[in-house]
Amino acid sequence: CTVHQSLSGESAAVVKQAMVLAKRRGHAQVTPLHVATTMLSTSSAAGICTLRAACSQSNRHPLQCKALELCFNVSLNRLPTAPQHDPDNLSISNALVAAFKRAQAYQRR
């Protein structure tokens, strides 16, 4: 069973949306940055923006989340694009696979 197959439905949906983001930006791989950006801008099944809600709860300044979103977008803009890459053949970066594996190990504790 691959790491991606063992995700919950909501987590798999976030990864799928992160893949759409990577494809739209012309990136060859889906990275943790794509996932974090998606979590900051996407509503969860409960109708709450997952990372945005955490950001808002931890800091009451309204521009804090907007600044984080801007930083993520600047970082995404700096990722190399793959002009000759087949957009339907995205791969998951080693860093994202490692993050999934760490999360799974944490769940087993």
Q: With respect to residue 47, please indicate whether it lies within any of the assigned structural domains.
A: yes
Q: With respect to residue 52, please indicate whether it lies within any of the assigned structural domains.
A: yes
How far apart are alpha carbons 58 and 87 in whole angstroms? Answer: 37
Sign of the CA dihedral running 46, 50, 53, 58: positive
Residue 73: pLDDT above 50?
Answer: yes
Count of the separate structural domains present in the chain: 1
Whole-model pTM: value is 0.83
Q: With respect to residue 85, please indicate whether it lies within any of the assigned structural domains.
A: yes
Q: With respect to residue 86, please indicate whether it lies within any of the assigned structural domains.
A: yes
Nearest to 87 by CA among 21, 23, 15, 1: 23
pLDDT digits (tens, 9 = 90+) for 1-53: 466 667 777 888 889 999 999 999 999 999 999 999 998 886 665 544 678 77
pLDDT digits (tens, 9 = 90+) for 100-109: 899 888 888 8
Q: With respect to residue 3, please indicate whether it lies within any of the assigned structural domains.
A: no
CATH number, residue 103 = 1.10.1780.10
Q: How confident is the model at residue 54 (pLDDT cuts 50, 70, 90)?
A: confident
Residue 83, φ and ψ in degrees, nearest 5: -65, -30
H-helix or E-strand containing 92? strand 91-92
Q: Do 36 and 51 form a contact (C-beta atoms < 8 A)?
A: yes
Domain residues for the domain of 98 are 8-108
How far apart are alpha carbons 38 and 20 in whole angstroms? Answer: 10
Q: With respect to residue 35, please indicate whether it lies within any of the assigned structural domains.
A: yes
For range 50-71, the mean pLDDT: 80
SS3 79: coil
